[in-house]
Amino acid sequence: MKTELLYMKNMEQTECSAKIISIQKNEIGVTVILDQTVFYPQGGGQPYDTGVIKTSDGAVVFRVQQVRYIDDAVHHIGILEQGDISVGMEILCFVDKEKRILHSRLHSAGHVIDMALKELQISWVPGKGYHFPEGSYVEYVADMENISIDTLLSELEQSCNAIISRDIKTTLVFDDTKLQNGKPMRTVFYGDFCIPCGGTHVAYLNQIVSIKIRKIKKEKEAIRISYAVGVL
């Protein structure tokens, strides 16, 4: 079984039609696998989408509470709120749009911090990213020797928001000859800056609105930069 990942080519798409190709029931609930989906499965530091799968007449309603990517298939995990589902059924997918937009803004903001550090000529090596609404941060392999945290915090925030103000367009480049975690290799470009990434992002950087650098601190062997995005 394999699910076509519609969000990989159209990151703003939050609705689609699909066909059920598998239904599984276990201790965590009901798992529905589709031939294609707009639901983003958790990974790359970005949380999963939630939303609804239902028939066009509304007779069947399945609430998607978690989304995971396992062996080339997207597993939509949740509860059946109405009706009954079966393999081969044609359904409609509706992602929680407000949540998707927030997740995309937070994910793109993490990469803008990468861009800002580069413009400040700080050569830290990117590590872990956590782009969840509750406590977003990015980590770097680096040291703080001869760096003032207060000065860096202020300069980094200014640089991030200057980058956002340029309203740079996001573009995608695919290499179907390579795979990344079982998915086609995709490189995300913000102007000349690029990074391999399979998550969802804003179409233009000004959609982030603004970035607030909340804290910079040493975290074991890494430097952690905590951040938040402005309110839409």
pLDDT in tens, 173-226: 998 777 766 677 899 999 999 999 999 999 999 999 999 999 999 888 899 999
Q: Model confidence over 159-173: pLDDT tens digits?
A: 999 999 999 999 999
For residue 211, what pLDDT is reported?
A: 98
Which string of DSSP letters, residue by residue, matches 39-101?
Answer: PPPSBTTBPPP-EEEE-TTSS-EEEEEEEEEETTEEEEEEEEEES---TT-EEEEEE-HHHHH
Could you give the CA distance from residue 171 to residue 193 in angstroms, rounded to a whole number? 10
Which CATH architecture best describes the domain 4-95? Beta Barrel (2.40)
Determine the Cα angle at 9 with ends 111 and 45, to 5°: 35
Taking CB atoms within 8 Å and a gap of at least 24, the contacts of 188-197 are 188/111, 190/108, 190/111, 190/112, 190/115, 191/166, 193/111, 193/114, 193/115, 193/118, 195/111, 195/114, 197/44, 197/107, 197/111
| Among the listed residues 41, 228, 42, 44, the one whose alpha carbon sits nearest the alpha carbon of residue 137 | 228
DSSP 168: P
Please tell me the pTM assigned to this model.
Answer: 0.93
Asked if residues 223 and 139 have their Cβ atoms less than 8 Å apart, the reply is yes
**What is the CA 62 to chain-centroid distance, rounded?**
23
For residue 228, what pLDDT is reported?
A: 98
Length of the chain: 232
Q: Model confidence over 5-24: pLDDT tens digits?
A: 999 999 999 999 999 999 99
| Among the listed residues 9, 35, 33, 3, the one whose alpha carbon sits nearest the alpha carbon of residue 198 | 9
| Fold exhibited by the domain 100-229 | Threonyl-tRNA Synthetase; Chain A, domain 2 (3.30.980)
Domain ranges of the chain: 4-95, 100-229
For residue 157, what pLDDT is reported?
A: 98
Print the SS3 string covering 91-116: EEEEECHHHHHHHHHHHHHHHHHHHH
